[in-house]
Amino acid sequence: MIEKSRFDFNQLSQGFEFPAESYILDESTIRDYLQATGDTSNLYQQRPLVPPLAVAALAMAALSEKITLPPGTIHVSQELAFCGLVFSGDQITCNSKVSRKVDRGGLRLMSTDIMVTNQHGKTVLTGKVGFVLPNMQKIPG
Amino acid sequence: MLKKKVRQEDINLYAKASRDFNPIHIDEEFARQTPTGGTIAHGMLVLAYVSQMMTGAFGETWLEAGQLNVRFKTPARPGDNLTISGKVKKCTEDNTCLTVVCDVLCTNEKGETVISGETVVRVNKNENRC
């Protein structure tokens, strides 16, 4: 596997945009996802629909593959808005940007905006992820 | 309401499907040495249960135009029995759509809150999207 470049938390500033990442939503990934979540909804049997949280999970994976966060970092909040149906076989592109990075009361907070488009350029999901990081002088890379 | 039992095998499969192989979720030996004291489920896995409940209530409308805003309060661990529930907080209506705002909650068997937050669904009254 090719090691992708990762950004250290200290390198990031508000407005920083991570390189986009694309995934093809293949049937086996969606099947694994539905099995892991125990989701037996008929909706996914009748049409090749993809659960929006599967799309969100891949957007999160795209983000986490690009940041080196210190041990003890906690994913504290999640906002999501689904903007259209996603189907098995679609290619999604995940974009993310640091929207907030502040120190408060001995903790460091970071929010990242995410936006996912499909192969037609249509936005299918937007969201915001909140992290709390332990306060350290310097984070090891 | 939805009931789910957190199982390590589901966490492992979720790691594969979501490409999130953080050892805190899948490596028991590693996780034992961290403040969590053992593996924990991905927050997004538990959030998927909330979305599953909303899909059961609103069907394709949720998949196409749902919104959620939640906070992760307590980690879910293998063996935990989770209860996911939702309660309509507010309904508003205009000429084209009905907007339903719900409080959603996921708790473990100890009564601890795992996830809490709010969802919004706009149900169209006509053929067009809201």
pLDDT in tens, B54-98: 999 999 999 999 999 999 999 999 999 999 999 999 999 998 899
pLDDT at A1: 44
Q: Of A57, A77, A82, which is closest to B18 when you measure between CB atoms?
A: A57
Nearest to A82 by CA among A52, A48, A115, A43: A52
Q: Would you say A39 and A57 are in contact if contact means Cβ atoms under 8 Å apart? A: no
> Does B128 reach chain A within 8 Å, measured CB to CB?
no
Interface contact B63-A35, CB threshold 8 A: no
pLDDT at B88: 97
The more confidently predicted of residues A138 and B39 is B39
> Does B30 reach chain A within 8 Å, measured CB to CB?
no
A22-to-A117, B39, B71 alpha-carbon distances in Å: 9, 29, 27
Q: Would you say A83 and A15 are in contact if contact means Cβ atoms under 8 Å apart? A: no
Q: Of B10, B64, B70, which is closest to A36 when you measure between CB atoms?
A: B10
pLDDT at B35: 84
Rounded to the nearest angstrom, the minimum Cα separation between B117 and chain A is 9
Q: Tell me the pLDDT of chain A averaged across its residues.
A: 89
Classify residue A84 as exposed, middle or buried by CB count within 10 Å of its CB (0-12, 13-18, 19+).
Answer: middle
pLDDT tens string A41-56: 999 999 999 999 999 9
The pLDDT of residue B25 is above 80: yes
Residues from chain A contacting residue B49 (CB–CB below 8 Å):
37
DSSP 8-state secondary structure symbol assigned to residue A9: G
pLDDT band at B127 (very low <50, low <70, confident <90, very high): low
Residues from chain B contacting residue A49 (CB–CB below 8 Å):
60, 63
Helix then strand then coil, in percent of chain B rounded to 5, is 30, 35, 30
pLDDT tens string A108-140: 899 999 999 999 999 999 999 999 987 654 434
Buried b (16+ CB within 10 A) or exposed e, A100-130: ebeeeeeebbbbbbbbbbbeeeeebbbbbbb
Q: Of B17, B34, B60, which is closest to A33 when you measure between CB atoms?
A: B17
Question: What predicted TM-score, i.e. pTM, was given to this entire model?
Answer: 0.92
Q: Which two tokens stand for residue A135?
A: 């306060």
CA atoms within 13 A on the CB side of B18: 35
Q: Of A38, A51, A57, which is closest to B10 when you measure between CB atoms?
A: A38
B44-to-A40, A93, A129, B64, B74 alpha-carbon distances in Å: 18, 19, 11, 19, 13
In the block, residue with structure tokens 């307590």: B74
CB atoms within 10 A of CB B79: 12
Q: Please state the rounded mean pLDDT for residues B41-47.
A: 96
Q: Computed over its alpha carbons, how large is the radius of gyration of chain B?
A: 17
pLDDT band at B130 (very low <50, low <70, confident <90, very high): low
Q: Please state the rounded mean pLDDT for residues A90-97.
A: 96
Percent of chain A with pLDDT over 70: 92
Q: Which two tokens stand for residue B93?
A: 């209506």
| Rounded distance between C-alpha atoms, residue A97 and residue A14, angstroms | 8
The pLDDT of residue A35 is above 60: yes
| Rounded distance between C-alpha atoms, residue A29 and residue A18, angstroms | 24
Q: Which residues on adjacent β-strands are paired with residue A40? A: none
